Amino acid sequence: MKIAVEGCLHGELDKVYATIQHIEQVENTKIDLLLCCGDFQAVRNENDLESLSCPPKYRSMNSFWKYYSGQAVAPVPTIFIGGNHEASNYLWELYYGGWAAPNIYFLGYSGVIKFGNIRIGHFERPPYNDRDLRSVYHIREYDVMKLKQIKDPIDVFMSHDWPVGIYEYGNSKRLVQHKPFFKEEIEKRTLGSMPAAELLSQLKPQYWFSAHLHCKFSAVVKHKEDDSITKFLALDKCLPGRSFLQIIDINSNSGPHEIHYDDEWLAITRKFNSVFPLSRKSIHFRSEQYDKQSYCEWVRNKLNVRGARPFDFVQTVAPFHPSQPFNNRSTTGHCRNPQTESLLEFLELPYLLDTAVETNTPTQNKYTVDSRGGIDPIRLGNSFVRDDGKSAGDENIIELDEVEDEDDEDV
């Protein structure tokens, strides 16, 4: 299976898909899946644009609305996670995951899904400000607690932020040369996410992909407990001459290559939904054990009857149209999504997001954001890389297994 991994998207779907199609044409190959590591910016209309977590001068409709409206269709199945620059009102509708647009799947605030026989998990980094820090922390603590219940092997894990300490397993000297302002945080061991580091140590996935820090960096983590290996790769944002896309070959002989619910994750969701944080008050999450076998068996029986495909995509707001004025300005804020309602009904769980939305949904913050330029896909030969040593034009080649030989220079 050929998987394209993309760093920070910043709403540039048209440009990333054009790049993928260019790669397929040049190399006479077919890419099976696109993974996007955050700052996706699923902006459907002008209301979403107002809630986008970035300064107003950087807010732009970009291209997601075309795929939400049906004007365009994603040419490759796409799975994305959120980052710290998102239209969080829409992503909150899909807290448990779901189709953000046809063929474009949001993984939720945490979760695991299957694509063929590949298990893909992730840990979310939602946007927040100082006022919301406490309440959002409880949501993240809850999500980490659920992820720590996973026992079955994970093939691919995604997080927007890097795990703390990951730079110790790669060429940190070259990283600091490329990003000198990282030096102090690396020395203080504050660069990255501590919960992500805990999950890396416990879950030990085969691959871990991140973005956020707007640079390319690879590392190989050898876990002392069982000598297993995690290959880490962080990618840049979608800009000319930046390494924002990489093609990974992962062994996968079983199909079909489509997104399915993961029975273990649904079992964990069903078990722990009762302790979902509903207020700003601190909650102590006990390391409560559960009968995994019985919960998974219950979920499998339900999936055998219904099927494992996610519930169908449904538009919940009117999409942006460049030639028509947008007057429906009363639809800001939280909206129930039929996909989420159907999933909770399937799992026989109550809908709790309405109760939590006022105290737990992230809002805007002060950000430092780089400006973004246009991209010509035909000129992006040096902006994507492979991990199999094959040439793909004049791009920079990276071997994930050869950390010491990594070239971090933008070309």
- Provide the pLDDT for residue 216: 94
Q: Which amino acid is at 140?
A: R
The terminus-to-terminus CA distance of the chain in angstroms comes to 28
Sheet containing 2-6: give its strands across. Answer: 98-101, 104-106, 78-80, 33-36, 2-6, 245-249, 384-386
pLDDT digits (tens, 9 = 90+) for 146-187: 999 999 999 999 999 999 999 999 999 999 998 999 999 999
Which H helix or E strand runs over 115? strand 110-115
Span 288-313, mean pLDDT?
92
- Contact, 122 vs 157, CB < 8 A? yes
- Look at 333 and 228; give whichever has higher pLDDT: 228
pLDDT over 60 (residue 345): yes
Tens digits of per-residue pLDDT, 368-405?
Answer: 333 333 333 333 333 344 444 343 333 332 333 333 33
Element (H, E) at 25: helix 13-27
In the DSSP assignment, the letter for residue 312 is P
What is the average pLDDT value for the chain, to the nearest integer? 81
Locus of tokens 């690396």: 186
Per-residue CA distances from 287 to 205, 282, 387 (Å) = 22, 16, 39
Place of tokens 């979403």: 48
Which one is predicted more confidently, 233 or 60? 233
pLDDT for residue 132 is more than 90: no
pLDDT at 81: 93
What is the tens place of the pLDDT at every residue in 31-45? 999 999 988 889 999
In this predicted structure, the answer to whether residue 316 has a pLDDT above a threshold of 50 is: yes
Higher pLDDT, 354 or 372: 354
CA distance 221 to 381: 29
Contact status, residue 114 vs residue 259, Cβ threshold 8 Å: yes
Which pLDDT belongs to residue 125? 55
Taking the CA atoms of 367, 12, 157 and 315 in sequence, report the sign of the dihedral they define: positive
Higher-confidence residue of 299 and 127: namely 299
Query: Residue 282: what pLDDT?
Result: 56
pLDDT tier, 120 (very low <50, low <70, confident <90, very high otherwise):
very high
- pLDDT of res. 278: 74
Q: Please tell me the predicted confidence (pLDDT) of residue 328.
A: 54
Q: What confidence tens digit (pLDDT) does each residue in 80-117 have?
A: 998 877 877 888 899 999 999 999 999 999 999 999 99
Give the pLDDT score at 284: 61
Residue 270 banded pLDDT, cuts 50, 70, 90: very high
Which pLDDT belongs to residue 291? 85
Please name the residue that has the structure tokens 């054009």: 18
Whole-model pTM: value is: 0.85
Q: Residue 128: pLDDT above 60?
A: no
The arithmetic mean of pLDDT across residues 344-355, rounded, is: 92
